C-alpha cells in the first residue's frame, strides 16, 4: 500500500511538460507555468539553452545567409573573375589589355587590373562593390559589408574600426618572387566552401553561446527580483530556484520578440519599453497562476 502511495506521489511530482513543449506553452499555458514552478527541479539550464537556440534561429539564419552572400560578392566572385596574374621581380602583368574591368551579374564593378598605372587609386575606391584592385606593384582587397551588418554592429563597433572597414588592404611581393596566380584554382585548392561552412558553424555556436551565458547570468538577478515581486505585490513566497525557472520561462516571449526584431531589422521608437512590458506581463501572469493554484490546493 505504501509503495502504491509513493508511486502515486512520484507521478504527481513528475514534470508533465518537457522543455521543448514549454517553449511554445510559455506564450499561453497556465498549467505549464504551474508545472515549471512545482515539478521542475534545479535551475533548468537546459531549458534556457534550448529556448535561446530556438528564439535565435531566425537571426542565425539571416546572418548566415547574409554572411555567405558577403563572402561570395566580396571574395569568391572577384577572384573567379580575376584573369591569371603573372608576377616577375615583384611586378604584376596579365595577358589581357589593361585596364581590365571585372563586373558581377548586376553589372557592378567588382575588380580592376591596371598594370599600366593609367588609373589613380584614389579615383576608383568610390565604387561601392569594388573588392579587388591590382596595379603594377601591388594587390589590394577590401572587405565588403552588407548594410544590415553595419546597422546591427553600429552600437558595438568603434568609430576607428568603421573607418578602416571600407579601406583597401594593399600587399606587395618581394622583388625576387616570380610565378603565376589563378583565382579560380586558388579557391578550389583551399576548398573555400568547406572553409565558409566551418566559419558559419563556429560563428553560430559562438553567438548562441554568448547569448546563453548572458541570459543565464541575468536570470540570477531577475530571480531575486522575482521573489521580491511575488512577496511585495502578490503576498506569497517562492523559492529561489522556482523563481529562476519562472523568470526563464516567462522571458521566452520577450526574447522571441527581441531576436525577431533583430532578424527582420525592425527598429521602432519605444521597442525597449515594449520588451520590458512583455516580460513584466508574462512574469506577473506566471506568479498569479502559481498563487491561485496554491490557494486551490489549500482549500481542497
Taking only the tens place, the pLDDT of each residue in 44-68 is 999 999 999 999 999 999 989 888 8
Q: Which of 157-166, 217-226, 233-242, 266-275 is predicted least confidently? A: 157-166
3-class secondary-structure state, position 95: coil
- Judged by phi (left if over 0) then psi (alpha if -120 to 50, else beta), residue 131 lies in alpha
3-class secondary-structure state, position 162: helix
Query: What is the per-residue pLDDT for 9?
Result: 44
* 139-141 β-sheet, strand order: 100-103, 109-114, 132-135, 139-141, 169-171
**Cα(203)–Cα(105) distance, integer angstroms:** 28
pLDDT of residue 105 exceeding 50, the answer is yes
**Is 125 in contact with 168 (CB distance < 8 Å)?**
yes
Question: What nine digits make up the cell of 27?
Answer: 506564450
Query: What is the per-residue pLDDT for 254?
Result: 95
**Residues above pLDDT 70, as percent of the chain:** 82
**Cα(250)–Cα(217) distance, integer angstroms:** 16
Q: Over the Cα atoms of the chain, what is R_g?
A: 29
For residue 82, give Cα distances in angstroms to 77, 87, 128, 271.
9, 14, 18, 46
Looking up cell 491561485 gives 292
pLDDT of residue 1 exceeding 60, the answer is no
Question: What nine digits make up the cell of 176?
Answer: 625576387
pLDDT of residue 288 exceeding 90, the answer is yes
pLDDT of residue 144 exceeding 50, the answer is yes
pLDDT grade, residue 212 (50/70/90)?
Answer: very high
Q: With the CA atoms of 131, 133, 139 and 144 taken in that order, what torsion angle do they form, in degrees rounded to the nearest 10?
A: -10
pLDDT of residue 300 exceeding 80, the answer is no
User: Buried b vs exposed e over 140-168: b needs ≥16 C-beta within 10 Å?
Assistant: bbbebebeebeebeeeeeeeeeeeeeeeb
Q: 148 or 134, which is more confident?
A: 134
Looking up cell 599600366 gives 116
**Cα(73)–Cα(103) distance, integer angstroms:** 11
Strands 109-114 and 132-135: parallel
Question: Residue 229: which H helix or E strand, with range?
Answer: helix 192-234
**Cα(13)–Cα(16) distance, integer angstroms:** 9
Amino acid at each position: 500500500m505504501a509503495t502504491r502511495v509513493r508511486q502515486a506521489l512520484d507521478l504527481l511530482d513528475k514534470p508533465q511538460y518537457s522543455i521543448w513543449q514549454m517553449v511554445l506553452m510559455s506564450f499561453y499555458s497556465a498549467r505549464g507555468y504551474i508545472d515549471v514552478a512545482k515539478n521542475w527541479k534545479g535551475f533548468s539550464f537546459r531549458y534556457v539553452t534550448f529556448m535561446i537556440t530556438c528564439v535565435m534561429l531566425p537571426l542565425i539564419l539571416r546572418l548566415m545567409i547574409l554572411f555567405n552572400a558577403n563572402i561570395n560578392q566580396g571574395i569568391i566572385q572577384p577572384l573567379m573573375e580575376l584573369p591569371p596574374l603573372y608576377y616577375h621581380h615583384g611586378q604584376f602583368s596579365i595577358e589581357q589589355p589593361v585596364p581590365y574591368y571585372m563586373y558581377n551579374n548586376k553589372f557592378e564593378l567588382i575588380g580592376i587590373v591596371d598594370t599600366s598605372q593609367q588609373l589613380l587609386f584614389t579615383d576608383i575606391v568610390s565604387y561601392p562593390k569594388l573588392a579587388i584592385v591590382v596595379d603594377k606593384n601591388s594587390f589590394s582587397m577590401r572587405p565588403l559589408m552588407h548594410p544590415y551588418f553595419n546597422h546591427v554592429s553600429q552600437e558595438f563597433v568603434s568609430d576607428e574600426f568603421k573607418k578602416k572597414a571600407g579601406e583597401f588592404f594593399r600587399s606587395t611581393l618581394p622583388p625576387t618572387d616570380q610565378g603565376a596566380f589563378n583565382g579560380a584554382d586558388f579557391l578550389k585548392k583551399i576548398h573555400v566552401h568547406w572553409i565558409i561552412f566551418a566559419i558559419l558553424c563556429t560563428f553560430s555556436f559562438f553567438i548562441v553561446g554568448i547569448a546563453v551565458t548572458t541570459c543565464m547570468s541575468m536570470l540570477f538577478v531577475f530571480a531575486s527580483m522575482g521573489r521580491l515581486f511575488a512577496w511585495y505585490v502578490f503576498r506569497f513566497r517562492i523559492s529561489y530556484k522556482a523563481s529562476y525557472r519562472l523568470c526563464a520561462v516567462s522571458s521566452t516571449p520577450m526574447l522571441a520578440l527581441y531576436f525577431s526584431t533583430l532578424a527582420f531589422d525592425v527598429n521602432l521608437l519605444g521597442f525597449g519599453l515594449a520588451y520590458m512590458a512583455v516580460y513584466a506581463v508574462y512574469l506577473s501572469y506566471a506568479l498569479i497562476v502559481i498563487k491561485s493554484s496554491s490557494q486551490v490546493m489549500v482549500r481542497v
